[in-house]
Amino acid sequence: MQQNTTTYGDAAAAPITAPNSGARNINSRDTAIAPGDIAVGVVIGRASEYFDFFVYAIASALVFPAVFFPFADRLEGTLYSFAIFALAYIARPIGTVIFMAIQRHFSREIKLTIALFMLGTATVAVSALPTYSRWGEWAIISLAILRLGQGFALGGTWDGLPSLLALNAPEHKRGWYAMLGQLGAPVGFIIAAGIFSYLMAELSQDDFLVWGWRFPFYVAFAINVVALFARLRLVSTPDYTHLLDEHQLDPVPVREVVGKQGGTIVLGALAALASYALFHVVTVFPLSWLQLYDTRSMAEFLQIQMWGGGLAIVGVLASGLIADKFGRRNTLGTLAALIALFAGFVPTLMDGGVAGQNTFILIGFLLLGMSYGQAAGAVTSNFLAEYRYTGAALTSDLAWLVGAAFAPLVALGLAANYGLGFVSLYLLSGAVASLAALSVNRALEIRN
């Protein structure tokens, strides 16, 4: 198939307070915080972050190769785009370390405010970038800097709510409450995919690539602002602060956590590897593959992925019920085995025309929801109380870095050069790593 190297974008530009001040008491309430109240903050916060995440991810596959890399053929342009996509995951742990220090010296509210405004600013700035045809290499350099800024800011968005929710939940419903934060992923994806699908269906290709793609980034900034105030409304209450203190959910120096429980961080990241590898194999990779090697309408395919997002929500909800009955680690291990089985069908389904591709998306999203629903915290419960807050954040950072950062780049590179069968092997390796990490963790628990 001949690659499209048309240059787009030639048209004119389209249209603190101190921790002990009264800030904590602005939204104080007299009642204790129930798990349901914490869950609302978790879902809102994660949905806004994932919306940002998927707006950039979808644009990386469908927009940036033509807008920022018109000098390369479409495959090379997409690989370049995915390389910049990965930068956020490299910067995220650095952001976590620095923002943890900010929280220790100032307050959680100040940290969240700085991080979320930085995230929103970097995101909206992407929408204002001149294209390669106007700025040349500086456009690419600016895109990379802003992507690093997004990842750095994401490191500061950790608020401890998921850990607090899991610890504050009833003993027999830990799996149910643990999955609530994971609902943010499919919710954020559905909204992002819906906006892109609408714009691609209603605009000409030229209009979409000149100015239409920029609109979702403006929406992401607005959602971030709303989410910021929703989260601050919760975390600024004395009751929330009391619960955090009660569970020792405060940051400690990263060096101390890594020195004392570095093994738990690694095991926690590897235990969730199957989920994180599958994450991009069913969301970002198919968009890039079909854009290059198929004639399907991307607007219509995004709608199929939205249906998949709905199944992922069902899967996340189901994972909570299953985990409470059979155990979170058993659930995660079983799903890793099912993902390994699913990996074997990647070539058949992706080469199976519309019906096969739709089946791949729907089954993949369902497995993703069930697995991802319990991916957070299956091993992090092993952290000592004083290390749980920082340890959980670092575990999440490492899981994203190892499992998801380079997944679109690796999957597309392997598929384009060696065939879809190597995508199966890539996904299988993530599942095997998860099963191995869960087995090691179980052996360590038995020994101790």
Residue recorded with tokens 């802003």? 146
Residue type, 263: G
- Per-residue pLDDT of 272-322, as tens digits, reads 889 999 999 999 999 999 999 988 999 999 999 999 999 999 999 999 889
| Res 328: pLDDT | 81
Neighbours of 13 (CB within 10 A): 12
pTM score, whole prediction: 0.87
Nearest to 335 by CA among 401, 402, 426, 271: 271
Mean pLDDT to the nearest integer, 327-342: 91
Buried b (16+ CB within 10 A) or exposed e, 164-184: bbbbbbeeeebbbbbbbbbbb
- CA distance linking residue 121 with residue 46, whole number of Å: 18
Q: State in Å, rounded, how far the first CA of the chain is from the last one.
A: 58
CA distance 357 to 342: 13
CA distance 276 to 402: 9
CB-based contact 64:213 (threshold 8 Å): no
pLDDT of residue 230: 73
Summarised one tens digit per residue, pLDDT across range 35-54 is 666 677 677 778 888 898 89
Percent of the chain with pLDDT over 90: 52
Q: What is the mean pLDDT of residues 58-81?
A: 96
Cα 198 from Cα 175, distance rounded (Å): 36
How many residues are present in the chain? 448
- How much is the pLDDT for 99? 93
Q: Where are the beta strands (DSSP E) in 152-304?
A: none
Confidence (pLDDT) at 158? 80
> What is the distance of C-alpha 350 from the center of its chain?
24
Residue with the bigger pLDDT between 214 and 232: it is: 214
Question: Using CA atoms in the order 432, 279, 46, 54, what is the torsion angle rounded to 10 degrees?
Answer: 160
- DSSP annotation of 392: H
The DSSP secondary-structure symbol of 344 reads: T
The pLDDT of residue 31 is 45
pLDDT, averaged across the chain: 84
Q: Give the pLDDT of residue 33.
A: 59
Mean per-residue pLDDT, 63-82: 96
Contact (CB, 8 A) for 74 and 385: no
Looking at residue 269, its pLDDT comes to: 87
Average pLDDT over residues 124-139: 94
Q: Nearest Cα to 175, choosing from 319, 367, 391?
A: 319
pLDDT value for 112: 86
Is the pLDDT assigned to residue 93 strictly greater than 80?
yes
| Of 57, 59, 55, nearest in space to 8 by CA | 59
Q: 10 Å Cβ neighbour count for 190?
A: 23
CB distance 96 to 158 below 8 Å? yes
